[in-house]
Structure formats: C-alpha cells, structure tokens
Amino acid sequence: MSEVVLPEPVAPDSTRSEQVVEELREPGLDLPAAWRRLESEVAGRRRRRLVSAGVGLVVIGLVAAGAWMVGQRGDDVETTSGGTSTTTLPVPSTSTPEAIAVAPVTTSSTVPASAGVAPPVEPVARSPLGAELSVPRGVRVGTPFTLAIDWNDADHAAAGEPTVEVEWNDPYLAPAAAEPPPSSCGSAGSPRAGRIERTFRYSTAGSRSIVVRLQSCSGSGGFAEDLTVELPVDVGAVSGTPLVAAVDPAAGDPDVAEAVRYPADAGGAQTLANRSTAVDQVLRRDRGQRATVLVADSWAAGDVLLLQFPDASCRWATLGSAAGGAAAVLTQSGCQPERPTTTVPSTTAPSTTSTSSSTTTTSP
C-alpha cells in the first residue's frame, strides 16, 4: 500500500495591514502599540471623509433652496395673460455626492430706463409775462402813431426780448413782415423788462381794437411765455378824404414818395403832403403791395394819381372809384401820365389802368 503524501497547507496572502506590520517589525519594537496607532490613523481618515461629504450636502441644499426662491420670485413679477403655469421644484438626490468645491456666485441685473422709471418732469414757468399797451392821444386817419408795449418777466429765459405780433384791425392795411421765430426755453432766466414800439397808420376812421401777442421761445419749453393783450382805440377823422395808394413790389417806398393828384375836372395839379415817415405797410388783401395813405380835399372817378420816388422814378394810375378809403394800385410807369382836360361824366367810371376817351395828353 502506497503512502499518501498530503501537500503542505499554503498560507493565505497577508493583508496590507499585516504587510505594514511585518515591514515595521524590528527588534525591540512594540507591535501592539504600532497596530493601535495604525487603526487610529485609519479611523481619522474615515471621519474626515464623512465631514467633507456632509459639507457637500449642505452646499447642494443651499443652492437648491436659492433656485427655488428665485423661481418663486419670478412667479410673483411675471404678468400672466389668461393661461396657467406649472412650477416644478427640483428634487434633492438621495445619494451621497462627493465633496466638491463651490465658488461664490455673484448675480446682477440691469433694469431698462423705461421700466419703472418716471420720465423727467418738464419745469413749469414760475412767473408769468406781463405787458401794458399805450398809444398817444389823438390817433387820426393817415397820421402815423406809435404803439408802446411795456413788458416785464421775473424769470425771462429767452436770450432777447419777446417777439411781437400786432393785429391792427384796419380794413385795408396790415404790417409788412412777421416777427422772426425765437428758440426754446428749458430753464429759468433772470428778471427783465423793456419797451417794444410799433408804428402804424390807419386808413379809415372808427373804433378799432389793437391785439398784441407776445411770445418768448415760441411758447416752447417750461419757461416760455405766450401772452395776448388787447387795447381799444378810437381813430379820428381828418379834414378831407383819405385814399390808400399801393405800388407794385418793384417800385420804391410809397411813404417817402411825393404825391400829385390831377383832378378829372381838368383843374390844376394838387400836390399832397409828403409821406416822409416810413411805416412799411402792405395791402391786407395782397401783402406783396406796399401801401400808404393819402389825404386830398376830394377824390373823383377819372382823377390821375402819381407818386414820384426819391430816385425820380414814378408810378401812376387813373382812379376808377371815388369811395373814401378805397385802395388804388398804381401800376403805370413813367412820370408823364395822361392828364384829364375835361370833366368826365359821373356815370362813367374809367378803368384804373386806362383813361377815358374824352381825355387828351399834355405835358405836366
């Protein structure tokens, strides 16, 4: 019978701890004490890992809570329009994440200027513009007079004096030019006052109303002004009959021209008062025609009226109407008009641009 030889038992591989202990084995070394220190070191490492995992969970919880609060606030400010909205809250994970480093987060937002920001309020004029009108006594037909406009403003913001528009309410005449446009006033100025004067000559007698409009900065801006003042005036009559005489734009100033009337009854020439005061008026119906007011003893159909300007040029016309205050436009050039030599019947009213067939031409 053969002998059975059993193999020697193979010792299991030593653990990492046993290997460390074996390597540390030295004569005189207290192995139990070294083992205890090793176990203490391993336990410490486990505790530190648990603490790091706990910090990670806290950070993740704070981030989730902040996201939920931002969602809630967004729901508060959003404007709904008839539909429904569903808010889904994040569900925290049940697994234990690894510890991670979280950098601080800084958030900012820019609100458009139109959202919740009121526009700037335009300033309001603190002190109104004031004005008083005055004219001399004895305003009469055909005589120039001056209208005085005394104004004052405690916070005058314009660079210059107020602009003026005057409505004289004459049936035939109007001012020649409008006032220039001013600029805008956006801030308060300083106290200012002054006097503005305008000259006019009425063509007919009667009660009139002078209406003056004063503006600073065209009424544009918080400190601009727009004021209307009215003054009644009685225009007195004169001895004689007034007549409005106008000339074409190419002629000179009728206010400074010498006026001569050649009566239709072939009487002697009548020199009228020299219009030495320039007023710069135009016809109301046609502002391109400069006009003046002439006063004669009488006017009759067929009269020839001539204006001679300082440069020796002339304009003339034969009157076709004898009505007081009627406007005649002198369109004929030359200083030797066709003068009437015989009486023209009152039933015949010649044209303003031609003479009657009963007249002859003579030298003045």
CB 296 within 8 A of CB 324: no
pLDDT value, residue 321: 66
CB 294 within 8 A of CB 342: no
Whole-number average pLDDT of the chain: 74
302-349 per-position pLDDT tens digit: 999 999 999 999 999 999 865 555 688 999 999 999 887 654 444 333
Task: State pTM to two decimals.
Answer: 0.58
Q: Which of 124, 143, 136, 351 is nearest to 242 (CA)?
A: 143
pLDDT value, residue 59: 58
**What is the third-level CATH fold of 130-235?**
Immunoglobulin-like (2.60.40)
Three-state secondary-structure class, residue 191 = strand
The DSSP code sequence of 119-163 is PPPPP--SS--EEEEE--S--BTT--EEEEEEEEEEEE-SSSPPE
| Domain limits, the chain | 130-235, 241-333
94-147 per-position pLDDT tens digit: 454 454 454 444 444 444 444 455 555 555 546 788 999 999 999 999 999 999
The class level of CATH for 241-333 reads: mainly beta
In this model, does residue 236 exceed pLDDT 80? Answer: yes
CB 320 within 8 A of CB 349: yes
135-186 per-position pLDDT tens digit: 999 999 999 999 999 999 988 878 888 889 999 999 999 998 776 666 667 7
130-235 and 241-333 in the same fold:
yes
What burial letters (b/e) apply to 175-186, b meaning 16+ CB within 10 Å?
beeeeeebeebe
62-75 per-position pLDDT tens digit: 666 665 554 554 44
pLDDT value, residue 142: 92
Phi and psi at residue 344, to the nearest 5°: -95, 130
Burial group, residue 105, by CB count within 10 angstroms (0-12, 13-18, 19+): exposed
Task: Say which residues have a Cβ less than 8 Å from residue 33's Cβ, sequence separation at least 6.
Answer: none
Q: Which two tokens stand for residue 78?
A: 């959003």
